[in-house]
Amino acid sequence: MSENNPAPSTSPAPSDKPAGEAAKPAVPVPAAATKPAAPAAAAAAAPKVSGAAARKAGGATEPLPPPPSLQTRRTFMTWGIAAWLVFFGWLGGIGHMFLRFMFPRVLYEKDPKFIAGKKSDYSEVNKVYELYKEKQGTWLVRLIEDGEDHLVALSTVCTHLGCTPNWLEAEHKFKCPCHGSGYFLSGINFEGPAPRPLERWHVYVDASGNIVVDRSRKFRKDLQQWGDSDSFIKMS
Ligand code: FES
């Protein structure tokens, strides 16, 4: 080779570092130290996955809230149904009032009259017949009063406060269980707070020979009504 064109050298290029340092081998640097933000950056850069896809992928079962548009629709439907219910309730009330107006409630009282058998069913004198006590509120009593044999129909309502007395055969008297009023066979009060005798009903014999008790008419002794011939049946 000539001095003017020296041959290219294959040795490394001279460095300006000292020879000792240049000879040192390169120390490996940990990857975490050199690239700390790589995973976060990767996550941020990754495309967002939808909820359904995530569930499909991960097998999650937790339901997600419906989208706002669906929530709004549900709320509207709920309020709509409630409004219809209120409307129909109001309509029902109006209809009920209309029906009550067109068909007013009528109180059907039971017939005040009832047939109480024949005279022959009351064969014993000075006896209280209780056959019609429960259903008709009436005792049929055959007794001698003023020297005559009568059949009378007594009300079972105590004249104190309206309880129902009991007939005590052994003591031969009516006794009220509420406050102790006592009445004779005739219905005249003799003990307790009852202010007056029991009331009697209109009683008569119809054309067929039936004894009829008519509770639409009553007779009170304190009003001197027991002398009325409509308040008893002559038995002999
Ligand atoms: S109700 Fe009969 S004694 Fe009072």
The domain segmentation of the chain, as residue ranges, is 113-234
Range among 38-42, 107-111, 140-144 with highest mean pLDDT value: 140-144
pLDDT at 59: 53
State mean pLDDT over 102-110: 72
Which atom of ligand 1 lies nearest, measured to the CA of 194?
A: 3
pLDDT at 55: 53
d(CA 217, CA 201): 6
57 vs 197: which has the higher pLDDT: 197
The answer to whether residue 91 scores a pLDDT higher than 80 is: yes
pLDDT > 50? residue 229:
yes
Please give the distance, rounded to the nearest whole angstrom, from the Cα atom of residue 163 to the centre of ligand 1: 6
Fold entry, domain 113-234: Rieske Iron-sulfur Protein (2.102.10)
pLDDT number for residue 74: 78
Give me the DSSP letters along 117-159: EEGGG---SSEEE-TTHHHHSEEEEEEEETTEEEEEEEE-S-T
According to the per-residue pLDDT averaged within each range, which of 16-25, 57-66, 73-82 is highest?
A: 73-82
Closest ligand 1 atom, residue 176 Cα: 2
Report the mean per-residue pLDDT for the chain. 81
Statement: residue 33 has pLDDT above 70? no
* CA dist., res. 226 & res. 220, Å (int): 6
pLDDT digits (tens, 9 = 90+) for 45-69: 445 545 445 455 555 567 777 777 6
Q: What is the pLDDT of residue 72?
A: 77
Q: Measured from the CA of 161, which atom of ligand 1 is nearest?
A: 1
Mean pLDDT of 160-166: 97
User: What type of residue is 37?
Assistant: A
More confident residue, 143 or 45: 143
Atom 1 of ligand 1, residue of closest alpha carbon: 161
pTM exceeding 0.75: no
Helices (H), the chain: 19-23, 31-34, 38-45, 51-58, 68-102, 133-136
